A and B are shown apart, each in its own frame.
Chain A
């Protein structure tokens, strides 16, 4: 892995009066990373992103991007950053083309028609370039948001829930685009999402945030695949199954047993052995449902935040 740090955040805190939106956050993003920034709604993701783009000032802590302090090198840093922050808002009374033209001029001084049309084509809006943005659906605005973020060919792309409002095909296209930008163009992508599966598909490293605090940070593959699994076995006869387990190594791995469902905490390679044990002893197994502990944890905090 290339160890060049693109984003380095240390002790970042943001307080709004008595509310602590982000608390003592540390994170590092390396060049070429697709970094998943995961958390339920209200976890502090957008507040962190706003601080990374100097839209709001941190209460304490430091942000370095491309090895420079954001506070003293804002303009230099933003030249190399493209971003979508929360919902995509544009100058609604202007056309898609004119919006990009204005934003391109602000980023690069001048932007060619060819470049704007390329970007619109990339996000599938080339036929609507003359349409005013107020006639766009949320999904189309989201696409235009991606176009404006990529317009000046930035090295770092910060995307705050970029697939929100897109249809499944649109979501896939945007995910494919992010993979392309990362793998073929070497861009560093900081992707905020509240959907774990989305991060799992695209990101190589991730952090989970809850209530403004870091819960876990690391490689996606390690965090999601190398943990023990919570595996639910659905059996036809719970009593027979429990009798078979008695006195075996599996007995200590039972997490719960309700009705015909027995839940185990297992290593991934244990699943087939346990299944074989049941089948050989004439206990029919109708389903084996593995749940990764991190996934379950994330679902729990997401549900909690939605309540």
Chain B
């Protein structure tokens, strides 16, 4: 299995499209950091504006932690579009290229092939989040220093300097898991067709439709909202509650993992039964 995963990673990193995600994330992060750096304290005034009338704000509120939080909050909703570029191509790309004929005539089981490709999509998703973390968190600290983190979560919360890093680690993990769900969705569509464009567009369309449904305040939509994975794209914020809501965290983890496992199970079944005609 390790050999298969290494081969799949090698294959995807020999494709230009794999780097689009890393380049886009880098550009977005750098642009946001540049904009914050130019705006200076104005960047935090949206949060502290009313408070500054009653309290004197001291210390470095515009710090690397705040910038990282802001970046994660701003761009996590767009990362799925980068994930599907790779995950949607994992199976359909081989069909388009006709390379299943050389891959599946080797002494490896179809399940091993589909599992290695799936795990590669998962690894890619986490690599992209890790890249985002490195750029926004590490570079943010280098550029803006450290300090207390001020966030707006059901009210304004200020975290002490020594109470932040573990929250970010878990938040990035949770954000990665939500991206894995997106990857699993695109991967599933990738097993249905023989051209990568279809899975990419379909996965993107579903994310957009689910996001719109989640945002419309109609009872019916609000009833189904908890079952839509897009509702959990921002579950990472749960780690920035004053006291952690373990019920919500476990629920989010369960929904995301459930989606991932079910989507992979269906994909593996389809792939096992698929006639390779390309």
Interface residues of A toward B: which range?
20 to 34
In the bound complex, residues from chain A placing their C-beta under 8 Å from that of B4 are 106
Q: Is the CB of A102 within 8 A of B107?
A: no
Interface residues of B toward A: which range?
20 to 34
Q: Is the CB of B7 within 8 A of A57?
A: no
User: Which of B11, B104, B108, B275 touches A91 (beta carbons < 8 Å)?
Assistant: B11
Q: Give residues of chain A (64-102) contacting chain B, Cβ–Cβ below 8 Å.
A: 74-76, 78-79, 81, 83, 85-87, 89-94, 102
Q: Is the CB of B109 within 8 A of A75?
A: yes
In the bound complex, residues from chain A placing their C-beta under 8 Å from that of B99 are 89-91
Q: Is the CB of A105 within 8 A of B7?
A: yes
Cβ proximity bits A92-130 to B, threshold 8 Å, 1 near / 0 not: 111000000011011101000000000000000000000
Known: A106-B7, A106-B108. 16 other contacts (CB 8 A): A54-B104, A55-B100, A55-B104, A55-B276, A56-B275, A57-B273, A78-B105, A83-B105, A85-B101, A91-B14, A93-B14, A93-B15, A105-B7, A106-B103, A107-B106, A109-B3
Say yes or no for B218: interface residue by CB 8 A criterion.
no
Q: Which of B99, B103, B105, B275 is most buried by chain A, counting CB atoms within 10 A of its CB?
A: B105
In the bound complex, residues from chain A placing their C-beta under 8 Å from that of B108 are 75, 106
Q: Is the CB of B97 within 8 A of A92?
A: yes
Say yes or no for A142: interface residue by CB 8 A criterion.
no
User: Which of A57, A76, A90, A107 touches B275 (beta carbons < 8 Å)?
Assistant: A57
Q: Is the CB of B276 within 8 A of A87?
A: no
Q: Is the CB of B11 within 8 A of A74?
A: no
Q: Is the CB of A148 within 8 A of B102?
A: yes
Say yes or no for A140: interface residue by CB 8 A criterion.
no
Say yes or no for B38: interface residue by CB 8 A criterion.
no
Chain A residues with CB under 8 Å of chain B are: 50, 53-57, 74-76, 78-79, 81, 83, 85-87, 89-94, 102-103, 105-107, 109, 148
User: Which of B97, B101, B104, B106 touches A86 (beta carbons < 8 Å)?
Assistant: B101
Q: Is the CB of B97 within 8 A of A102?
A: no
A108 nearest CB across to chain B (Å):
9
Report Cα–Cα, A57/B109, bound state, in Å. Answer: 14
Q: With A50-B276, A57-B275, A81-B105 given, is the CB distance from A105 to B98 under 8 Å?
A: no
In the bound complex, residues from chain B placing their C-beta under 8 Å from that of A75 are 107-109
Q: Is the CB of B277 within 8 A of A89?
A: no
In the bound complex, residues from chain B placing their C-beta under 8 Å from that of A81 are 105
Residue of A with least CB distance to B112: A75
Q: Is the CB of A106 within 8 A of B277?
A: no
Residue of A with least CB distance to B108: A106
In the bound complex, residues from chain A placing their C-beta under 8 Å from that of B100 are 55
User: Which of B14, B103, B107, B273 touches A94 (beta carbons < 8 Å)?
Assistant: B14
In the bound complex, residues from chain B placing their C-beta under 8 Å from that of A56 are 275-277
Q: Is the CB of A53 within 8 A of B7?
A: no
User: Which of B11, B97, B105 touches A85 (beta carbons < 8 Å)?
Assistant: B105
User: Which of A76, A83, A105 touches B3 (beta carbons < 8 Å)?
Assistant: A105
Residue of A with least CB distance to B276: A55
A-B contact pairs, 6 of them (CB 8 A): A53-B104, A78-B106, A94-B11, A94-B14, A106-B103, A109-B3
A53 nearest CB across to chain B (Å):
5
Residue of B with least CB distance to A92: B97
In the bound complex, residues from chain B placing their C-beta under 8 Å from that of A94 are 11, 14
Report Cα–Cα, A94/B275, bound state, in Å. Answer: 26
A176 nearest CB across to chain B (Å):
24
Residue of B with least CB distance to A51: B275
B110 nearest CB across to chain A (Å):
9
In the bound complex, residues from chain A placing their C-beta under 8 Å from that of B15 are 93
In the bound complex, residues from chain B placing their C-beta under 8 Å from that of A102 are 7, 10-11
In the bound complex, residues from chain B placing their C-beta under 8 Å from that of A79 are 107
User: Which of A55, A89, A90, A107 touches B107 (beta carbons < 8 Å)?
Assistant: A107
Q: With A90-B102, A92-B97 given, is the CB distance from A76 to B107 under 8 Å?
A: yes
Cβ proximity bits B243-259 to A, threshold 8 Å, 1 near / 0 not: 00000000000000000
Report Cα–Cα, A109/B7, bound state, in Å. Answer: 12
Residue of A with least CB distance to B273: A57
Report Cα–Cα, A103/B277, bound state, in Å. Answer: 20
Residue of A with least CB distance to B10: A102
Q: Is the CB of A106 within 8 A of B106?
A: yes
Q: Is the CB of B101 within 8 A of A55?
A: yes
Q: Give residues of chain B (58-117) contacting chain A, Cβ–Cβ below 8 Å.
A: 97-109
In the bound complex, residues from chain A placing their C-beta under 8 Å from that of B106 are 78, 103, 106-107
Question: Which 4 residue pairs of A and B lie closest in terms of their CB atoms, listed nearest first?
Answer: A89-B98, A106-B106, A56-B275, A55-B276
